[in-house]
């Protein structure tokens, strides 16, 4: 079993939501954190709260779609704390819209998801994850670190209507652990650096809690546990996946029993 005490987590999207919850969980359990986010205000707030908890934290404002920013974040972890043991790329966005929208009367298409709308989500939610993981894993190998790469997929990976961009990116997250684990196995690294994904359902971040209440109620009608998943519950699962060295190469759903219907 790996110990959280003294271990170093690199987390993007660390200035809010799931990334913030993981960072605070890690520090509460004796770890150190390196946080990246595109919004400096959120980073400063979270870092200040972590320091008030007595935790050790380093931060870097950056864009996960930029190679140089991801390299700088990974380098910061090595420079500040000498290791990378956990990598959790949480940076992500949604930009929902229907693939094609027919007119109700004529049946002819009146609008469609734009290429920019598709590409922006893919750039941050998929390319950004690839770059963060690539840069951190390189430094984990070069600095003889042991630990876990934990990707954040989603129940949306099963196919959510209105989210062909988001669902496509999250589906990719679900297959990445198998690919990375297979490649590391070939190179005799899989026992040192494991890779998994966690796929939450509807998580009670500030963004989700701020939704229209009627829309939120309709969502909860389909969740067997009748509530949102708490960000701290996602963090807790990631902590266990880190500690248990028998776990690798799989995606773990955390959705309160949710099953998406034929209409997504």
Compute the half-sphere exposure of residue 129: CA atoms within 13 Å on the CB side of its CA. 26
Q: What is the pLDDT of residue 9?
A: 99
Compute the half-sphere exposure of residue 176: CA atoms within 13 Å on the CB side of its CA. 27
Q: What is the pLDDT of residue 242?
A: 98
How would you classify residue 188: left for phi > 0, otherwise alpha for psi between -120 and 50, otherwise beta?
left
How many domains is the chain partitioned into structurally?
1
Residue 261 located in a structural domain: no
Residue 260 located in a structural domain: no
Domain around 80: 8-254
Residue 136 located in a structural domain: yes
Q: What is the pLDDT of residue 73?
A: 98
Residue 81 located in a structural domain: yes
Q: What is the pLDDT of residue 223?
A: 94
Q: The pTM is what?
A: 0.96
Residue 263 located in a structural domain: no
CATH number of the structural domain spanning residue 100 = 3.40.50.720
Q: What is the pLDDT of residue 209?
A: 84
Residue 221 located in a structural domain: yes
Intervals of the chain under pLDDT 70: none
202 is catalytic: no
Given the residues 166, 202, 242, 252, the one annotated as active site: 166
Residue 262 located in a structural domain: no
Residue 3 located in a structural domain: no
- Spatial separation of the C-alpha atoms in residues 64 and 151, rounded to whole Å: 14
């Amino acid at each position: 079993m790996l110990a959280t005490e003294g271990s170093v987590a690199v987390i993007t999207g660390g200035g809010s939501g799931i990334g913030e919850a993981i960072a605070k969980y890690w520090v509460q359990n004796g770890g150190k954190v390196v946080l990246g986010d595109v919004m400096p205000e959120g980073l400063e707030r979270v870092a200040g709260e972590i320091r008030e908890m007595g935790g050790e934290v380093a931060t870097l404002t950056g864009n996960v779609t930029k190679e140089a920013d991801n390299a700088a974040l990974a380098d910061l972890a090595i420079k500040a704390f000498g290791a990378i043991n956990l990598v959790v790329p949480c940076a992500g966005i949604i930009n929902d819209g229907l693939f094609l929208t027919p007119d109700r009367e004529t049946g002819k298409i009146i609008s469609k998801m734009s290429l920019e709308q598709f590409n922006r989500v893919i750039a941050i939610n998929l390319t950004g994850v690839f770059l963060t993981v690539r840069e951190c894993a390189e430094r984990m190998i070069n600095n003889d670190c042991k630990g876990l790469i934990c990707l954040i997929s989603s129940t949306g990976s099963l196919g959510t209507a209105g989210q062909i961009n988001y669902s496509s990116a999250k589906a990719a997250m679900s297959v990445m652990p198998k690919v990375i684990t297979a490649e590391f196995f070939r190179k005799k690294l899989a026992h040192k650096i494991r890779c998994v994904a966690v796929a939450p359902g509807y998580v009670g971040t500030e963004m989700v809690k701020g939704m229209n209440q009627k829309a939120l109620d309709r969502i909860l009608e389909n969740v067997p546990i009748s509530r949102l998943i708490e960000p701290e519950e996602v963090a807790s699962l990631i902590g266990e996946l880190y500690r248990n060295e028998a776990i690798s190469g799989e995606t773990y759903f955390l959705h309160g029993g949710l099953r998406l219907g034929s209409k997504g």
